[in-house]
Structure 1
Amino acid sequence: MKVIGVGFGRTGTMSLKQALADLGAGPCFHMIDLITGENRARDLAYWVRIADGEPVDWNEVFDGWESTVDWPAASLWREIADAFPDAPVLLNVRDFDGWYRSVENTILAVKLAARAGELAQDANREQPAPELWGVIEKLIWEGDFQGRFEDRAWVRRMYDERIEEIRSTIPAERLTIWNLGDGWGPLAAMLGVAEPAHDFPRLHDTNEFRAEFGLPALA
């Protein structure tokens, strides 16, 4: 593994997925790969086991991948960082209020629409497999959020504490902190490569996410 991304989703992770590939640290594993990836059946089988608390060989889980960002891997950040002790760790973050609002309007909105049977059948993206809904529920909603996502004050504390826990656990020389909007610089420095001449990817904003699941755009 060349990079282990440990920050939550909705912190620019789709852009980071592409950026890391552009910098030579791809293919990069991301939640999208459990929905539309060509090896999704193989990969999802591992994550079902992980969400159920079963032991796995992390080298097998990430066979064929060179980096990871986003959930579900971010929920197991400590275990993955320990499994690949030579890989640099990327802590991708953004301001809490923007992050919370983005989660509300994307993954939470999709969850609620799916539960109500309101996801469009002709949406622009293949729908997650039923098993993936279970992984998401166990690792994200009941795991990271402990069933308390609607308690914004609690989530704010959890968000800040997670960042501080990572910073205090991962040695400074191994850790790179990337704030949404930072662009190529920190990533290129982390990997010891030159910054590309082309613009940093800007992918998967809130309305793009919603459109892919057939949800209406927000003003």
Structure 2
Amino acid sequence: MKVIVASFPKTGTKSMNLALTKLGYKVYDFIENGVYLREEWCTIFNDGWTTEMFRKMYEDIDAVVDLPACYFWEEIHKAFPDAKIILTMRESEDVWYKSILRQLIVGDENYTFRLMQILSPSQRRLLHGTGYGTGLAVFGYKQIFDSKWFGRKMNEQLMKMKYRAHNAYVLQNAPRDKFLLFNMKEGWEPLCKFLGVPVPVEPFPHKNAGGTILNELLTTHPAVIKMKKEFVISSAVLCTMAILILFLARKKDFRSFVSGLFRSALKTIGWYKDRKV
């Protein structure tokens, strides 16, 4: 581990991910943590952790960004004391919160992504394992990452308070000789100087403006592509079953079978009495 980005999401973390990747670092973002290290994070959320756990988790990884790793930046730094720490922030907590809301709205408007939460086993494991644990651990709010289909409820005051407290703690406790407070508008120079790497010729990347990252992930990220394939397969199976049921429902024997099964179930729970209607 060489770089720990301690920034909360929606503070330029996707741009930082791409920038570090272009500089040659192997980066783990939220999806990589949730897919490839899901069991480890579930253990951390439910039972606690040791420094050795983080050392094993990230021994072959160069950098981490976004949740849940950013919230555990200090614990990861204990495992990798030579790693450098970067913090990015938005202009204000109000701007940050509006950006969070926009990301969630974009997700709600993407019907493929929403249905994947139901029909993709990998997506469910990601959101209800790492996502659930992250929301509970960081914001104290178990529904923070759920879709509005599942009754999402936002707590603006709590989220802003957590954002302020997190940034203040990093600013106060990160070792000065290994810390950079970085503004994306500054471009490559301060980042590359801090990391001790050459400055690329290409412009500094800016990614996920307006929460548009979802469409890109659906077509480029291997783990998300797998989720999309699971969604397609599950949808095909459900459609086939529905067609089969509709076909069989036209058969008299099948209707009699279903009717008898239904009556037996009602008899069992005491709701049905034999009589002609």
Measured in 1, the distance between the counterparts of 2:30 and 2:61 equals 13
Shift of residue 213 of structure 1? 8.3
Change (3 A) 1:34 1:58: closer
Consecutive unaligned residues in structure 2, runs of 5 or more: 145-153, 219-277
CA contact (8 A) 2:26 2:61 kept: yes
CA contact (8 A) 1:5 1:89 kept: yes
Alignment TM-score, normalising by the size of structure 2: 0.63
Measured in 2, the distance between the counterparts of 1:176 and 1:107 equals 29
Q: Give the counterpart of 1:129 among 117, 120, 123.
A: 123
2:54 alignment partner in structure 1: 58
2:199 alignment partner in structure 1: 195
Task: Extract structure 1 runs of 4+ deviating beyond 4 A.
Answer: none
CA contact (8 A) 2:106 2:211 kept: no
Answer with 1 or 2: which has the greater Rg: 2
Q: Give the counterpart of 2:133 among 126, 132, 138.
A: 138
Give me the identity figure in percent.
Answer: 25
Specify the code of the residue in structure 1 equivalent to 2:17.
K
Alignment TM-score, normalising by the size of structure 1: 0.78
Change (3 A) 1:127 1:23: farther
CA contact (8 A) 2:4 2:85 kept: yes
Change (3 A) 1:117 1:18: closer
Consecutive unaligned residues in structure 1, runs of 5 or more: 215-219
- DSSP-derived class of the 2:98 partner: helix
The reply on whether 1:99 has 2:96 as its aligned counterpart is yes
2:7 alignment partner in structure 1: 7
CA contact (8 A) 1:5 1:69 kept: yes
Shift of residue 105 of structure 1? 2.0
Specify the code of the residue in structure 2 equivalent to 1:101.
K
Measured in 2, the distance between the counterparts of 1:170 and 1:207 equals 29
The within-5 A match list for 1:22-37 is 22-24=22-24, 26-34=25-33
Q: CA RMSD in A?
A: 3.0
Shift of residue 22 of structure 1? 2.0
2:86 alignment partner in structure 1: 90
CA contact (8 A) 2:8 2:66 kept: yes
CA contact (8 A) 1:7 1:92 kept: yes
Specify the code of the residue in structure 1 equivalent to 2:103.
T
Q: C-alpha deviations, 1:41-85, integer Å up to 9, x for none?
A: x42222222222343521221132111111121121221122111
Higher helix share: 2
CA contact (8 A) 2:7 2:88 kept: yes
CA contact (8 A) 1:8 1:74 kept: yes
Measured in 1, the distance between the counterparts of 2:123 and 2:90 equals 29
CA contact (8 A) 1:3 1:68 kept: yes
Change (3 A) 1:181 1:120: farther
Specify the code of the residue in structure 2 equivalent to 1:185.
E
CA contact (8 A) 1:6 1:77 kept: yes
- For these two proteins, the number of residue pairs brought into alignment is 201
Specify the code of the residue in structure 2 equivalent to 1:81.
H
Worse overlay, 153-162 or 170-179: 153-162
